């Protein structure tokens, strides 16, 4: 497949309140480097042409100097400030990625993303127009009622654990976000990019394989798991 004009928006604007740390999780050290380093390094070595790094308020200069320049991430063409909610940050990144044909949106708190996942995401965006990385769930899932009792047990064979990157034709996802931000009534309950496209357009989103190791670092325990995953991967051994 032709792979041209592909951009990645990497989100590093979250505060990470569940990490119980005064340092935002994306800058916490993991194997001697800030957590955000690992996702950026993998995109740097991938077939993505350019990367937009979205930071928290007042963190643009720090990220430019202490991450982009320090580690020589040449594909990071812009560092932009995010917004209050995740969807504000994504849209800021999308605006900075203007000119690409396809865009991969990735949470910087997922340091164990691999080049293989990125390649599958690019292929999926080209073939389907919209796709998200994920894995079939391993556990039985229960839906609770308002009193906390088990109400429904969904068919596990149809359930996926959704990850990032979430990848799209640029115009499709840009227009979907533009519509989302045009009226607050659209914004309630939005949790990921696929949901934006599903809610704001009639375009279906394809599920593609991610990796069980592609975890999101949310709690202190996740840092320990991510460290193990990185040590098993080339991300550590090729530094």
- Closest by CA to 37, choosing from 239, 214, 224, 213, is 239
State the chain's mean pLDDT as an integer. Answer: 92
Contacts of 48 (CB under 8 A, 6+ apart): 6, 7, 8, 75, 104, 118, 122
- Closest by CA to 93, choosing from 187, 173, 152, 189, is 173
pLDDT-based confidence at residue 15 (cuts at 50, 70, 90):
low
pLDDT in tens, 163-219: 999 999 999 999 999 999 999 999 999 999 999 999 999 999 999 999 999 999 998
- The phi, psi pair for 152, rounded to 5°, reads -140, 145
Alpha-carbon distance 205 to 37, whole Å?
A: 29
- Extract the tokens encoding 125: 């965006």
DSSP state of 68: I
Which domains are seen in the chain, by residue range? 6-237 (3.90.550.10)
CA distance to 3, 57, 82, 130, per residue, from 100 (Å): 11, 25, 20, 15
98: three-class secondary structure by DSSP: coil
Residue pair 84/14 in contact (Cβ under 8 Å)? The answer is no
Contacts of 158 (CB under 8 A, 6+ apart): none
pLDDT in tens, 130-141: 999 999 999 999
Buried b (16+ CB within 10 A) or exposed e, 116-136: ebbebbbebbbebbbbbbbbe
pTM over 0.85: yes
């Amino acid at each position: 497949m032709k792979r041209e004009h592909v951009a990645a928006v990497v989100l590093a604007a979250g505060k990470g309140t569940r990490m119980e740390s005064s340092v935002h999780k994306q800058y916490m050290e993991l194997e001697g480097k800030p957590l955000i380093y690992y996702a950026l390094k993998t995109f740097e070595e991938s077939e993505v042409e350019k990367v937009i790094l979205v930071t928290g308020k007042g963190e643009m200069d720090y990220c430019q100097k202490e991450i982009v320049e320090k580690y020589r991430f040449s594909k990071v063409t812009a560092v932009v400030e995010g917004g209050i909610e995740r969807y504000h940050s994504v849209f800021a990144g999308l605006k900075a990625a203007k000119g690409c044909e396809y865009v991969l949106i990735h949470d910087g708190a997922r340091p164990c993303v691999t080049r293989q996942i990125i390649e599958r995401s690019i292929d999926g965006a080209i073939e389907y127009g919209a796709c998200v990385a994920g894995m079939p769930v391993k556990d039985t899932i229960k839906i609770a009622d308002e009193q906390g009792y088990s109400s429904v047990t969904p068919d596990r064979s149809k359930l996926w654990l959704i990850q990032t990157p979430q990848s799209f034709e640029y115009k499709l996802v840009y227009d979907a976000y533009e519509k989302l931000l045009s009226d607050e009534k659209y914004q309630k309950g939005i949790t990921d990019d696929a949901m934006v496209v599903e809610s704001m357009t009639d375009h279906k989103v394809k599920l593609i394989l991610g990796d069980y190791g592609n975890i999101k670092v949310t709690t202190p325990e996740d840092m320990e798991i991510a460290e193990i995953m990185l040590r098993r991967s080339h991300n550590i051994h090729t530094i």
